[in-house]
Amino acid sequence: MKASFMCSMTYQDPAAHHYAGGWPVPPRLFDTATGQRTYDDFLEWSAMADDLGFDWVSVSEHHYAPLIIAPSTGVMAGALSQVVRRARIALLGPLAPVNNPVRTAEEIAMLDHLTHGRLIVLPLRGTINEFSCYAPIDPAKTKGMTQEATRLIQKALSEPEPFAWEGEFFQYPCVSVWPQPVQRPFPPMYFSGNSSDSAMFAAANHLGICFSFHPTETVAAKVAQYREAAARAGWEPTPEHLLYRGFIVVADTEAEAARLEQSFVPPRFAESIAANKRYQLTGTNGAAAQALPEDWARGGAAQPDQGPVGFGLGRLLFAGTPDTIVERIRAFHEATGVGILDFILTAGNTPHDAIQRGLELLGREVLPRIRGIGESPAANATNTGTNREVAAWT
């Protein structure tokens, strides 16, 4: 089992997370001193995660809100490349529909050099609201855009000669990416597994798969679908092809963990979780696509390719003392086969000291005890250390 620390850049003023007006959150609520402290703290925590033995440090792109103040994964990963010296840096990930995929490929290649070949990539579809953060995009088209962008990024990073791209959503008369990445033909790549169509695409294209926030039984069912589709495509995923991103609370006592869990999300975020029990994204027809942005602004709509807002049914899968966390991780792996966990330590309400203490407990008391989960005795004897490479990317 491997572990990743999400450098979430969650704005460290709970008041901004309590804004009741939905998305977007007004810039007047942003304080530059708080923003600077947020960036500094998360870079420091990322360096700490590296020292503690985390296998990955991840970044994700979001816009116009305080939950993740990282509108550019490239900028954040560039900063991380200078403070995270051992762990892999995972772009989880650039939002494919709103970004130029050729520019994304160029940034991936640069970052692969800056990290000396330690980059991981996941192009994301994103959330309904973010489809309009630049030019308006029809939500019904974003699934196809994300799939095509992923194929284009792969070709741009691996094609030795200039080429033209004439796709359904992207057209470029000449693509000739410099530099080329260190990892050939391109860095290990994942794809979202939070919809069945996306899981099938990942399997057919030999991509790893990422789940976010879903409950255990949902992840297990989608992993089974993914494995079946991979078998039809002639390959077998390893545990390291299976990634899960979720919130976590780790504390010295169960009482403290329960207190932190109870207040983990701001009240408005908690309302969104409750509302999402009543909403499902059931189609991509024009009427549904037009209705969803308004629902999202009220905190009520499901994300199109990242599961419901929040965490499953409203309770953290991983919360407790280190002993409790280890057992929950063991049970989660046994049910799902997931081999990499990407941990988010705050949703905006967790105090600074509790975030840092949770990170320390994860690194010192949890990571050493989960290393062998899911590995055979032979694998444990062979794969010593904490920086084992991603396997079977063919």
Q: What is the pLDDT of residues 102-113, one digit of tens each?
A: 999 999 999 999
Quick one: DSSP state of residue 389? P
The DSSP code sequence of 152-208 is HHHHHHH-SS-EEEE-SS-EEEEE--SSPPSSSSS--BEEE-SSHHHHHHHHHTT-E
Q: With respect to residue 136, please indicate whether it lies within any of the assigned structural domains.
A: yes
Q: What is the pLDDT of residues 144-193, one digit of tens each?
A: 999 999 999 999 999 999 999 999 999 999 999 999 999 999 999 999 98
Q: With beta carbons less than 8 A apart as the criterion, state whether 9 and 38 touch.
A: yes
Domain that holds residue 354: 2-381
The predicted model scores a pTM of 0.87
**Beta strands 340-344; 208-212: pairing state:** unpaired
Q: With respect to residue 113, please indicate whether it lies within any of the assigned structural domains.
A: yes
Of the chain, the percentage scoring pLDDT greater than 70 comes to 83
E strands along 223-359, which residues?
242-250, 318-320, 340-344
Q: With beta carbons less than 8 A apart as the criterion, state whether 126 and 98 touch.
A: yes
Q: Provide the angle, in degrees to the nearest 10, between the axes of the packed helices 101-114 and 142-158.
A: 50
Question: What number of residues does the chain have?
Answer: 394
Q: What is the pLDDT of residues 321-356, one digit of tens each?
A: 999 999 999 999 999 999 999 999 999 999 999 999
- The stretch 29-38 carries a mean pLDDT of 98
The lowest-confidence range among 37-51, 64-78, 121-135, 337-351 is 121-135
- Cα separation, 86 vs 197, in Å, equals 35
Please check the confidence at residue 290 and state whether its pLDDT lies above 60: no
CA torsion through residues 217, 219, 221, 223, sign = negative
**Beta strands 56-59; 88-95: pairing state:** parallel
Q: With respect to residue 387, please indicate whether it lies within any of the assigned structural domains.
A: no
- Cα separation, 318 vs 213, in Å, equals 11
What pLDDT was estimated at residue 23?
87
Domain with 35 in it: what CATH number?
3.20.20.30
Q: With respect to residue 393, please indicate whether it lies within any of the assigned structural domains.
A: no
Q: With respect to residue 20, please indicate whether it lies within any of the assigned structural domains.
A: yes
Residue with tokens 């094609």: 159
Long-range pairs for 380-388 at CB < 8 Å and ≥24 separation? Answer: 386/53, 386/55, 387/55, 387/86, 387/87, 388/2, 388/55
Tally the domains of the chain.
Answer: 1
Please check the confidence at residue 392 and state whether its pLDDT lies above 50: no
Query: CA 103 from chain center: how many Å?
Result: 20
Q: With respect to residue 386, please indicate whether it lies within any of the assigned structural domains.
A: no
- Cα separation, 241 vs 125, in Å, equals 19
Lookup: tokens for 381: 């004897």
Quick one: DSSP state of residue 365? I
Render the burial of 293-320: b for 16+ CB within 10 Å, e for the rest.
bebbeebbbbbbbbbbbbbbeeebbbbb
Q: With respect to residue 357, please indicate whether it lies within any of the assigned structural domains.
A: yes
